[in-house]
Chain A
């Protein structure tokens, strides 16, 4: 009220009356929440530089073709066109790709999927660039695409590396074990798209030293930088990636198919170049969830205790390998779910086709198998005539049990507690047959729902997913904490994707140093690497690095005081900016103790190493796992087959709640993404061609599709090896939700429901 003029527009004016929450375990609001709400937060698409050019990428219209010739002369002759680049202009011509480097920057001899980049244009207007891209004459010899992953084994090689990307034949236990009851099933999972709400965009600026700076919404800047440097034939130091605001990332963000050409055009023209992808390009460019075919056979004894699981899992990796190898490892390792299975024989393959490439999307591998093993549990319960929840309860794993990979689950695994929590949660009331409740019918408001045809179903899903990179991946993050003048700054290359890392970093520093004002610096590749923002990595590894650095600063701060008073630093504590000793003799403020000095500390966090799965799928491949149980309640209009998810009751194993509001938001977001995978989200690619690459044809859940999400229980059993004991929370609800929804539709209709997303015809009861 007194000095309004001095307030910076971005500063959030805190209400003076109530104390601002700080430290771990409280709801600290995100610092950029206000700017994001008001629309002033700058994303990559908002960037602008003087004299910039606009880029457009020419993408293949065919899923498979031989390129006979590329004629760029018409495009080059167009007024306003500054550069046209094809494979001939790529200096390094290295292959790139996350996980496996098998992808050229531009297709040269063959195109392997619809939307593969072939050339790029820079022009002084975006329309000119697009028209010039369209004017590039490419002579294709169209070939028959291989789009069925089952046919990929026998088909001629689509890539010099062959069609089989990885095969894991997991063998665990006695192959001759046989159960008294056997159930079998064949399941198909569709192609979910991460559909980030902000499409890909970026700006490349040439540097005076012959290098280039890329301003992009990367979630893994160092990997992207290395790929770019290799493709441009430059040393990594001369390529810098500056991370801009990330508009949504539930998968590996940033399609290198536009990022790499962008930098190349800036290098070629010597001018800044910008590209802002359309929704269609976005769908064509980035990776999708693996469409999966699963064949299962479960053996159980007469009481329903699992004896053996046999499964075949086939992942459609699309044209390039990307992270398919990791997805397959997760699919095979978690193929039995969080159940005790003494004998398991799981065979998994990831194969190449001419479909759009698949890669990392939250819970990849684990989500597909969860839908299948939970369907099997429902089938088994039906065959044995027991309650599906009881059957699951009989088989759930606990800490100390063994995965089919031979790895002991050493982290907390409170699966029974989770299942119990959702099972015992009161059921939601049935809607009353009144006009006010009409919108609660399947089909929604103004839909065709009729109360007489609606059946309610209750189903369960239990899922698990690993945290951090698996199979020997070097998980490491480096963070620096600087304190000066009562203000702390965190420097860490962990990208804030909306997962709340910047808020967590502030909370950690507040907790450790008692300093209220903490800033988190923007991310670029001049900082040491922190890894990709996925699988809970930044909460664990980067959060751990920040904590260590903050503790080192704390020691630097307290050491002189402790020395002066002849006590160890452990006997001093910092609260609310004050330093006090255990006996209360010493009391000073942090500012005084700093004495104008600037304190810096840099620390690394590296979790314990893992090992690759061996030839029989055995090995300690995972650092840790998180678990989730969901009870779904659905209403199905059994004549039309429309499904409304009424309520999802979620119980999750989180280790420790670091920020309650953030955890609730992450679980709700994950569950909603899972509802999309269960009911509507499927990017269709008949004959390898992406159909309806837009948000009308690709139906993301809206507010009306999202169910009432009840977070029934968060089990806080600290994981001793994780910093703060916290587990990642985002992925496991995505893994579990589709299985729970399918289970509930099964209960409502009595139909098998063996395909995701659930099509209306699969939820119709024809009867008679």
Chain B
């Protein structure tokens, strides 16, 4: 109590509680660590997990930190695809070299919150958390990405990202998302997000749209308006026929508007008519959401084709 610190000789140091944390150096070591401690929880950036811990919703018995696994923090090329490590941070994906490769994913990464979050949050974490507002998810759905799941004893299996997000296939105990396989399309891609503010915020609605010139396809996914990204398949096919693929990839302007409305109506359908046959009315807030989706889809296609 010799020196005065703060008020009345009180110091500013609190003792820290110890925590069981494993820091494996490879994917297989991480899987082994999870198998050894079934109650342990894997943590990468911790931007979702630690918020749950802090709010008391989650009390992990132990943590397996994935931050030191260098093999999942970069990417490599594989038969016309990119194999993205699950530990890629949003900040890394937002950089120009990555943007040249997969522009929509880079745009989603840049929009995914303030710099602190982007520096910590990872691609794999975004998929594992599967929040409706996860910005990478509609892009991965539009790209029809597949996940490479690492299991015990070096086992690897692939599942489409949409299967995981829709709950058709689940991660089993001790499994980790190792890589994300994304096709390299060499064509414009767009990700647009409406947040209701200028600063970083959660999406009210988002649209990812990619062109696949080799297959003459347009693929679009709408995020944040449902528990998982929605794919308006009919609208995609309809609009793909209208694009002049051999010329300058042009389309008549009216089709842009119609595409927006088509996507919005597919994602937010009209309510069933009442028993007496009068058409159902969407509440004003939902109507605004539908209008926003239409505008985003229209603008996304317009930008992809411009």
Contacts and interface: CB of A to CB of B under 8 A. Distances in A.
A244 B7 contact: yes
B295 A699 contact: no
Contacts of B200: 444, 702, 704
A701 interface: yes
A641 interface: yes
Q: Looking at A46, A215, A679, A759, which has the most chain B CB atoms within 10 Å of its CB?
A: A46
A679 B194 CA distance: 15
Contact of B288 (A445, A522, A760): A760
B198 A242 contact: no
A444 B299 contact: no
Nearest to B12: A46
> Secondary structure at chain A's binding surface: helix, strand, loop or mixed?
loop
Interface in A178-228: 203, 205, 213, 215
Contact of A444 (B198, B285, B292): B198
A699 B194 CA distance: 15
Contact of B10 (A215, A280, A444, A522): A215
A447 B194 contact: yes
Interface in B195-242: 195-202, 204
Interface in A239-264: 242, 244
A444 B199 contact: yes
Nearest to A245: B6
B13 A48 contact: yes
A130 B192 contact: no
Interface residues of B, number: 38
Contacts of A48: 10-14
A443 B203 CA distance: 11
A215 B198 contact: no
B286 to A, nearest CB: 10
Contact of A699 (B6, B8, B192, B201): B201
A443 B207 CA distance: 14
A125 B17 contact: yes
Contacts of A278: 54-55
Contacts of B92: none
Given A47-B7, A125-B17, A448-B299, A641 B198 contact: no
Contact of B194 (A130, A640, A759): A640
Nearest to A40: B12
- Across chains A and B, which 7 residue pairs bring their CB atoms closest together, nearest first? A702-B199, A446-B111, A42-B6, A444-B198, A761-B288, A46-B12, A448-B192
A47 to B, nearest CB: 5
Interface string B101-133: 000000100110010000000000000000000
Given A278-B54, A760-B204, 15 more contacts: A46-B12, A47-B7, A47-B10, A48-B13, A244-B6, A444-B199, A447-B194, A448-B193, A639-B291, A641-B196, A644-B198, A702-B114, A702-B199, A703-B199, A705-B198
B56 interface: yes
Contacts of A125: 17
B271 interface: no
B299 A442 contact: no
A148 interface: no
Contacts of A760: 194, 196, 204, 288, 292
Interface in B118-159: none
Nearest to B5: A42
Nearest to A272: B10
Given A48-B14, A448-B296, A705 B197 contact: yes
A5 interface: no
14 contacts: A48-B12, A443-B198, A447-B198, A448-B295, A450-B299, A641-B196, A679-B197, A680-B196, A680-B197, A699-B199, A702-B114, A704-B198, A704-B199, A704-B200
Contact of A46 (B6, B56, B193): B6
A-side interface size class: 35 or more
Contacts of B191: 446
Contacts of A603: none
Contact of A764 (B193, B202, B291): B291
B248 interface: no
A759 to B, nearest CB: 8
A215 B199 contact: no
Nearest to A760: B196
Contacts of A761: 284-285, 288
A702 B114 CA distance: 9
A704 B110 CA distance: 14
Nearest to B109: A446
A733 B174 CA distance: 56
A569 B14 CA distance: 55
B193 A447 contact: yes
Nearest to B8: A242
A36 to B, nearest CB: 14
B295 A639 contact: yes
A278 B195 CA distance: 26
Interface in B161-197: 191-197
Contacts of A203: 10
Interface in B268-297: 284-285, 288, 291-292, 295-296
Nearest to B11: A48
A245 to B, nearest CB: 8
Contacts of B295: 448, 453, 639-640
B177 to A, nearest CB: 24
A7 interface: no
Contacts of A447: 111, 192-195, 198
A646 to B, nearest CB: 10
Contacts of A522: 7
A443 B201 CA distance: 10
Contact of B198 (A49, A280, A642): A642
A509 to B, nearest CB: 23
A3 interface: no
A642 B111 CA distance: 16
Contacts of B17: 125, 127
A398 to B, nearest CB: 38
A696 interface: yes
A448 B194 contact: yes
A280 B56 CA distance: 11
A759 B198 CA distance: 13
Contacts of B55: 278, 280
Given A215-B8, A448-B192, A448-B295, A442 B111 contact: no
Nearest to B303: A450
Interface string A690-706: 00000010010111110
Interface string A442-483: 111111101001000000000000000000000000000000
